[in-house]
């Protein structure tokens, strides 16, 4: 397994990965999310590959105050093999090199297994409420 920067030829594989992992929701078009990321810190969009197959992904970003993690995914066939940990370690390293002091991420409260995964990586539940406002609707 190796981790590398996302390449445009990965788009269909990555969007299928996100669907297979239950990360695609009706209000976010995954292709639009990829195009947006490619305009802002594309080097922080990583994929994990076994041979030439994309089996994992993570999108990281840094706004000068906080880092963010989105779309951490590992194909169900390959979960439990440490790929997500390696992706997170690489993303954290990139954010640390950029001077990022803290990482935030969002997990649905019903996703207990993923919450426990992040806790094992040292994340803690912040005493904060996540709010959102859509500025540009996806089709």
Q: Sign (positive/negative) of CA torsion 119, 122, 126, 131?
A: negative
Predicted confidence (pLDDT) at residue 139 exceeds the cutoff of 80: no
**Has this prediction a pTM greater than 0.85?**
yes
What are the angstrom distances between the C-alpha of 51 and each of 1, 16, 55?
7, 17, 10
Cα distance between residue 14 and residue 58, in whole Å: 10
3-state secondary structure of 50: strand
Tell me the per-residue pLDDT of 9-57, one tens digit each, with 9 for 90 and over.
Answer: 999 999 999 999 999 887 889 999 999 999 999 999 999 999 999 999 9
| Per-residue confidence (pLDDT) for residue 108, from 0 to 100 | 87
Beta bridge partners of 68: 61, 104
Structure tokens of 72? 């951490």
Structure tokens of 96? 């640390």
Predicted confidence (pLDDT) at residue 88 exceeds the cutoff of 80: yes
Apex 56 CA angle, 128 and 119, nearest 5:
35
Structure tokens of 34? 């990829």
Place of tokens 């197959």: 53
Cα distance between residue 57 and residue 3, in whole Å: 9
Cα distance between residue 34 and residue 81, in whole Å: 26
Q: Which structural domains are found in the chain, ordered by start?
A: 2-105 (3.40.630.30)
- pLDDT above 70 covers a percentage of the chain that reads 100
Per the CB < 8 A criterion, the answer to whether 2 and 53 are in contact is no
């Amino acid at each position: 397994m190796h981790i590398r920067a996302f390449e445009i030829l990965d788009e269909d594989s990555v969007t299928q990965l996100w669907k297979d992992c239950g990360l695609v929701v009706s209000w976010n078009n995954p292709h639009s999310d990829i195009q947006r990321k490619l305009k802002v810190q594309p080097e922080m969009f990583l994929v994990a590959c076994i041979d030439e197959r994309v089996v994992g992904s993570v999108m990281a970003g840094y706004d000068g105050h906080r880092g963010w993690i989105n779309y951490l995914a590992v194909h169900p066939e390959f979960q439990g093999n440490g790929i997500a940990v390696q992706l997170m370690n690489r993303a954290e390293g990139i954010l640390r090199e950029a001077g990022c002091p803290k990482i935030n991420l969002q997990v649905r409260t019903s996703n207990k297994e993923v919450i426990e995964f992040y806790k094992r990586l040292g994340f803690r539940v912040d005493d904060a409420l996540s709010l959102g406002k859509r500025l540009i609707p996806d089709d």
